[in-house]
Amino acid sequence: MNKNSNIYQIIYAAVMVLIVGTVLAFIYMALKPKQDDNIANDKRKQILSAVHITPASDDAIEETFNKYIVAGYLLNKDGSIADSTENVAFEVEMKNNIKLDERDLPMFKCKLDDGSEKFIVPVYGAGLWGPIWGYVAVNDNGVDIYGAYFTHEGETPGLGAEIANPKFQDQFKDKKIYPDGEFKSISVMKAGQKPTDGSEYVDAISGGTITSRGVQSMLQDCMTPYDPFFRKLQSGTY
């Protein structure tokens, strides 16, 4: 058989691609359920991180989540509850939910061991190389932040990726989003600088300027639509 004839080459390439394609499709199908579980559990872990809860083990994630996150809602633009069916907030994919005027507003209600209630909202934005996202927990007074969690898809390790570092995230604790009665998102500023609009601020990551700016605009974009809801919390009419 002539290995360099055109027919041999074409058949060789076709058969090879068929075999490889079949194998890959099979592996994908076989591993998909396991991967989906991992993704859902990872999301639960991220939401819990916003309220400083770490599940004891990987097997306990779902149990811990169900224990502390007592409800999930979709909110209306005026801050009232639009949908409270089970899992409705959990199933919102933030990456398909970025259009400002028609986005769903998911919110998780969390009840801690000491009985206090925290309200967790998801945030989603752009870093330097890809998407960044996270969850911000607000106290039941609707004014200050209880905790924040951020992560990313592919920011530079050691630089932008440091937004996933608890040291960065802990800075957000107790920052006020209503410093003077008006909603002002938290600013992420170079050390030594201060925002001009009087908003509260945290230190940016040195060497991760674009990612830090991404966090700032992500908070601004994603928290602003919740303004009516936070005001309801403040006035106690929630």
Partner 1 sequence: MLSKRNKEAFFNPLSKDNPVLVQILGICSTLAVTAKLEPAIVMGISVIAVMAISNVVISLLRKTIPTTIRIIVQLVVVAALVIIVQQILRAYAYDVSLQLSVFIGLIITNCILMGRLEAFALSNKPWPAFLDGIGNGLGYMIILVIVAFFRELLGSGTLFGFQVIPQWCYDHGYMNNGLMILPPMALITVGCIIWVHRSRNKELQEK
Residues found near partner 1 in the complex (CB under 8 A): 3-4, 8-9, 12-13, 16-17, 20, 23-24, 27-28, 31, 34-35, 38-39, 42, 129, 151, 153-154, 156-159, 206-207
Nearer to partner 1, 45 or 231 (CB): 45
Nearer to partner 1, 198 or 207 (CB): 207
Nearer to partner 1, 5 or 85 (CB): 5
Residue matched to tokens 């939910």: 97
Nearer to partner 1, 13 or 60 (CB): 13
CB of 151 to partner 1, least distance (A): 8
Nearer to partner 1, 7 or 100 (CB): 7
The angle formed by the CA atoms of residues 228, 116 and 64, to the nearest 5 degrees, is 105
How far are the Cα atoms of 28, 71, 111 from residue 118, in angstroms, in the given order?
38, 11, 6
CB of 160 to partner 1, least distance (A): 11
How far are the Cα atoms of 15, 64, 157, 209, 237 from residue 71, in angstroms, in the given order?
52, 13, 35, 36, 18
CB of 66 to partner 1, least distance (A): 20
Distance in angstroms (rounded) separating the CA atoms of residues 59 and 217: 35
CB of 89 to partner 1, least distance (A): 22
Nearer to partner 1, 41 or 224 (CB): 41
Nearer to partner 1, 32 or 194 (CB): 32
CB of 188 to partner 1, least distance (A): 18
CB of 135 to partner 1, least distance (A): 16
CB of 133 to partner 1, least distance (A): 13
